Chain A
């Protein structure tokens, strides 16, 4: 099993550009989620999904879109990147909401 994979590992964007961060898991987990990690602030939930076709907002959803068309994939879209979105992004999956979350390796995003 590859577990949770994320691409790209690093990305530099200019303000206003759009991009999609990819996340995939091969553990047949229903729950998938996106977090951002900023220095001194821990991890903050952006969006999550409890199954294919179902998504919901987390703590900091503004500026991000998600969709879940398959169990395996949960992409995160930035429609118009802003410097405030400079962060490390982690995708995670789990069997349920109250089970261990498996994190991907992260994507380091810089918006200039």
Chain B
């Protein structure tokens, strides 16, 4: 089955610095890669996603890159702010017709130090 590895498990950065979180996946058929942010005690919320036919996507301070050959994708947060502190999860999803396989990474706890 699909295996998603997420690194690092914890990350501390100074406010204003950049943060990068990387995920690798094993199933080359996976075709959708979302990133979720989860604050303590809250539900996961989508922050950005990318499909397998795209190499990079940006939304203000957040970007995601996908390398299909190497089977890895990364989340980049620039100019970090204290409110970026949360746990971030990646996911690799294979969706085809009525079939779906969803595998989440184990999460990265990001701490932005003011």
Contact = CB atoms under 8 A, between A and B. Distances in A.
Contacts, number: 61
B105 A48 contact: no
Given A41-B106, A43-B104, A100-B49, A90 B34 contact: no
A44 interface: yes
Interface in B86-105: 89, 91, 93, 95-96, 98-105
Contacts of B106: 40-42
Contacts of B89: 42-43
A90 B95 CA distance: 20
Given A42-B106, A97-B95, A90 B100 contact: no
Which of B44, B51, B96, B106 has its CB near the most chain A CB atoms (within 10 A)? B44
B98 A98 contact: no
A43 B90 CA distance: 10
B100 A97 contact: yes
A52 B45 CA distance: 25
A31 B100 contact: yes
A106 to B, nearest CB: 6
Contact of A103 (B45, B102, B107): B45
Nearest to A100: B46
A49 to B, nearest CB: 10
12 contacts: A43-B44, A43-B89, A43-B91, A45-B101, A48-B102, A59-B1, A97-B96, A97-B99, A98-B51, A100-B49, A103-B44, A105-B42
Interface of A: 31, 33, 35, 40-45, 48, 50-51, 54, 56, 58-59, 90, 96-98, 100-106
Given A59-B1, A103-B45, 14 more contacts: A33-B102, A41-B106, A42-B6, A42-B89, A43-B89, A43-B91, A44-B104, A48-B100, A51-B98, A97-B93, A97-B100, A100-B46, A101-B34, A103-B44
